[in-house]
Amino acid sequence: MAVSLHRRTGAVAFFYWLWDGLDRSIFTGIKFSFPSRFVSPFGFLGMLTFVVFVILGISGALLMFYYQPMLDRAWNSVQFINDQVPFGFHIRNIHYHASNAMVLLAILHMYYQYFSGRYKIRNEILWATGVILGTVTILEAFTGYDIIFSERAELAISIAASLTTSIPVAGPTIRDAMFGSGFSDFVLRFYAQHVFLLPLVMLGLMAVHFPRFLVFDVPMVMAIGGAILITGGVFPIDMGFKFVPTQPPGVTVPEWYLTGLYAFLRTQYDKFVTGVLWPGLFIASFLLIPFIDRYKKFSWKDRPIITAFGITGIAQIMVTTYWGFYIPSDVKIPLVQRLVIDPIFIYTVMILLVPLGFGFSYMMIKLAKESERKAKLAKEKGPKKVASINLSQKWINWLIVGLLAFQVFLNIAAYNAALTGMKNISLFFIGIILIVFAGFFHIYRYGLSQAKNAPPPPPIHVPEEKPKGLAEPQLVPNTSKISEGHILDDGKKESKETAQIPTPTIKADLGLDTNRKYDFGSSDLKKP
């Protein structure tokens, strides 16, 4: 029985019914677009961040089945998930590396919007909510690795508690609300903040921050997922050491997105200034950028001061992050002395980075404008030949066959690694599988776009028909050249001039003597 593709039946009808229903909800204001060709991911880094947020929600919900938010059971429950729960190692690595990926994507998204000047097109509210959302994202990741209650978590918790206490007036109240009365109940409070409070705040900010049109690029989403899994396979997360109150903790550092703050705290300067005031001023300056930037253009090359400010900030973050990780390895030096950073030295470097950052920014702007000028001159002189790689259909087919074989091999290898207990290797292979799938999808999408843009077939030469009045005379016997003695019906003789005009046919009504036989042969045609 033939089935019409235009008729909605079964699952197709249900899908359209579900889509129409969602279109009358939040999807009325937000529309998703699935690009049919490659689009630069910098334009939809926010959407990729949201996808990673969804991955974190799913993996975190699975970890909640076995995690116990109690002081004496938190670390042991995570160890049980990591070693004994089926696929617990995989879920924990996905959750951990996805949290780092979310922080990194949020920072990249913020700086891309900053340098591209997207906040200048009446997007001040979107920019402000984005900056706040990035800050809450870091707090969410911070509370996540604290509830394990390892030695690293204890260091982060102690620093956070002291910084909160240093806040004037409201500091002690905030500390009691966040940390409770001490180690006895802070794990449960951090767990509630990590699972319920902060995600609700993030969802509320996302509802305001999201633009009207969102780009959902399937190959890029698969590539991000594969990168998270590959990172988990190459760098599997370590359990660390369980914090024991009766034993002194070892030398450790916080996560990479907090080491810059840790470097300022190691100067042993005032905690409120180094740990609260400096980060607060940094965040406030980003919030006020849309109202400070008065340039008429959007490009970073046309906004030198704003560009220089952003590059200088990135340089300072990189330097302080490195300083936060660096601890002298000489064990002969006392631990306190190894951790202390000379405040004069670090602040001098921070000040020197300002003119260096501004000078580097102006140099980059000058070089970029000079390259644009040369490119414009070269374009005016004539088209420039661009080297390209053109593969034949045969090589494209062989490439697809090779990718398919590689895909099958990766699936078999991942399954074998899972059976043999090589957990990190299986994560690596699954990540490669996702990346290969992303490559396949991109090639398929590119092939569809090329098929739509295929050149038209060459025109078929059709001989033109001439009008009847201009038709060439047929090669027939020249019987019009009749001798002068032939008499027509009207008794007139046919003149020689008239006899020279060729006629295509001999008509029967010429009135020739019918009794006389005219048997013209091929030999007669040659007679004069």
Concatenate the DSSP letters of all residues of 204-255 into one string. Answer: HHHHHH--SEEE--HHHHHHHHHHHHHHHHHSPPP---B--TTS--------
52 and 172 assigned to the same domain? yes
The CB density around residue 72, as the number of other CB atoms within 10 Å, is 9
207 and 78 assigned to the same domain? yes
CA atoms within 13 A on the CB side of 19: 8
pLDDT of residue 327: 85
Q: Is residue 102, in this structure, part of any structural domain at all? A: yes
- Give residue 518's pLDDT band: very low, low, confident or very high (50, 70, 90): very low
**Domain count for the chain:** 3
Q: Is residue 349, in this structure, part of any structural domain at all? A: yes
Beta bridge partners of 150: 242
362 and 412 assigned to the same domain? no
- Give residue 3's pLDDT band: very low, low, confident or very high (50, 70, 90): very low
Q: Is residue 175, in this structure, part of any structural domain at all? A: yes
202 and 338 assigned to the same domain? no
Per-residue pLDDT tens digits for 406-427: 778 777 777 776 776 677 888 8
Q: Is residue 325, in this structure, part of any structural domain at all? A: yes
261 and 248 assigned to the same domain? no
The structure's pTM equals: 0.75
pLDDT of residue 502: 52
pLDDT of residue 29: 67
Please name the residues in contact with 423: beta carbons below 8 A apart, sequence gap of 6 or more.
89, 90, 236, 417
- Give residue 26's pLDDT band: very low, low, confident or very high (50, 70, 90): low
Task: Record the tokens describing residue 416, joined without a space.
Answer: 């074998």
396 closest CA partner among 465, 353, 446, 346: 446
301 and 370 assigned to the same domain? yes
pLDDT of residue 318: 92
pLDDT of residue 508: 45
The CB density around residue 427, as the number of other CB atoms within 10 Å, is 26
Is pLDDT of 474 > 70? no
Contact 428, 233 (CB under 8 A): yes
- Give residue 151's pLDDT band: very low, low, confident or very high (50, 70, 90): confident
Q: Is residue 188, in this structure, part of any structural domain at all? A: yes
Please name the residues in contact with 41: beta carbons below 8 A apart, sequence gap of 6 or more.
48, 217, 220
Q: 262: domain range?
A: 257-272+285-378
SS (HEC) of 287-316: HHHHHHCCCCCCCHHHCHHHHHHHHHHHHH
116 and 79 assigned to the same domain? yes
Q: Provide the H-helix boundaries in 64-123.
A: 74-83, 88-116
Task: Record the tokens describing residue 394, joined without a space.
Answer: 């045969």
- Which is higher by pLDDT, 404 or 181? 404
What mean pLDDT do residues 106-125 have?
Answer: 88
144 closest CA partner among 205, 87, 193: 193
Which of 378, 407, 429 marks a domain boundary? 378
- Give residue 486's pLDDT band: very low, low, confident or very high (50, 70, 90): very low
221-230, 393-402, 493-502 — which one is most confidently predicted on average? 221-230
98 and 222 assigned to the same domain? yes
Q: Is residue 289, in this structure, part of any structural domain at all? A: yes
Is pLDDT of 112 > 90? yes
| Separation between Cα atoms, residue 182 and residue 42, nearest integer Å | 43
| CATH code of the domain covering residue 210 | 1.20.810.10
347 and 424 assigned to the same domain? no
373 and 445 assigned to the same domain? no
pLDDT of residue 197: 93
Per-residue pLDDT tens digits for 294-341: 888 888 888 999 999 999 999 999 999 998 888 887 777 777 788 888
148 and 204 assigned to the same domain? yes
| Separation between Cα atoms, residue 218 and residue 438, nearest integer Å | 7
Matching residue, tokens 């891309």: 112
Q: Is residue 459, in this structure, part of any structural domain at all? A: no
End-to-end CA distance of the chain: 79
301 and 410 assigned to the same domain? no
pLDDT of residue 466: 57
